[in-house]
């Protein structure tokens, strides 16, 4: 189904109030983004996992930033935080099944988790023909970004 990503993002933030609690989440999405061919529940799951991680691995008083933009062939969604970031060595590995960042950095902030969330995100985004990756922000914190192609990819999306 073709879906406006701003609506989906606002829906997710709405149903995550119990997790987000008092967290400040700023959303920056231009009005003119084209609708995207996507499986609503799957992309909801991806954004939910990314926001859950942002809440779990960053200080409670730090804000989160969600934004989206598009070009001719894809839209890009970004979820940025002001937490400890990710050791450069782990930036790619965190998308592996069961991988969690080890050491003091993790003990300082971690609650239980299985290390599956990002592997699931990658599987779902790739099933849509998109890409997902993590970076550290120059001023501190992590940013997770994913793309979704605007062309319907035959065989990838189920109505
Ligand atoms: P699960 O999602 O299955 O409950 P999890 O959160 O540990 O468990 P992933 O979501 O796959 O698993 O994340 C993998 C690891 O990446 C996390 O354990 C954490 O070390 C690191 N990580 C994920 N998001 C962030 C973030 N926003 N800031 C810092 N580290 C992060
Ligand atoms: Mg997780």
Confidence of residue 42 (pLDDT cuts 50, 70, 90): very high
Which bound ligand lies closest to the C-alpha atom of 122?
1
What ipTM was predicted for this assembly? Answer: 0.99
From the CB of 53, is ligand 1 less than 6 Å away? yes
| Its pTM surpasses 0.90 | yes
CB of residue 81 inside a 6 A radius of ligand 1: yes
Ligand 1 atom, smallest distance to 141 CA: 28
Residue having the nearest C-alpha atom to atom 18 of ligand 1 = 100
Token pair, residue 52, equals: 């859950």
Q: What is the rounded CA–CA span in Å between residue 98 and residue 37? A: 30
Residue 71 has pLDDT above 50, yes or no: yes
If pLDDT is split at 50, 70 and 90, which confidence band does 153 have?
low
| 122: Cβ contacts below 8 Å, ≥ 6 apart | 95, 132
pLDDT higher than 50, residue 130? yes
CA distances 33 to 3, 28, 41, 87, 130, Å, are 10, 12, 20, 33, 17
Residue length of the chain: 159
Residue 43 Cα to ligand 2 middle (Å): 15
């Amino acid at each position: 189904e073709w879906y406006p990503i701003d609506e989906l993002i606002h829906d997710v933030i709405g149903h995550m109030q119990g997790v987000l609690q008092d967290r400040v989440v700023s959303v920056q999405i231009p009005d003119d983004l084209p609708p995207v061919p996507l499986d609503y529940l799957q992309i909801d799951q991806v954004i939910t996992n990314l926001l859950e991680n942002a809440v779990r691995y960053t200080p409670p008083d730090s804000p989160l930033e969600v934004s989206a933009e598009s070009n001719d062939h894809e839209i890009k969604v970004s979820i940025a935080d002001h937490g400890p970031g990710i050791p450069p060595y782990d930036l790619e590995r965190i998308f592996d099944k069961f991988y969690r960042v080890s050491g003091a950095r993790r003990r300082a902030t971690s609650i239980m988790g299985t290390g599956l969330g990002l592997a699931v995100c990658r599987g779902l985004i790739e099933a849509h023909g998109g890409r997902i990756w993590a970076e550290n922000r120059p001023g501190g914190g992590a940013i997770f970004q994913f793309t979704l192609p605007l062309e319907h990819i035959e065989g990838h999306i189920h109505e």
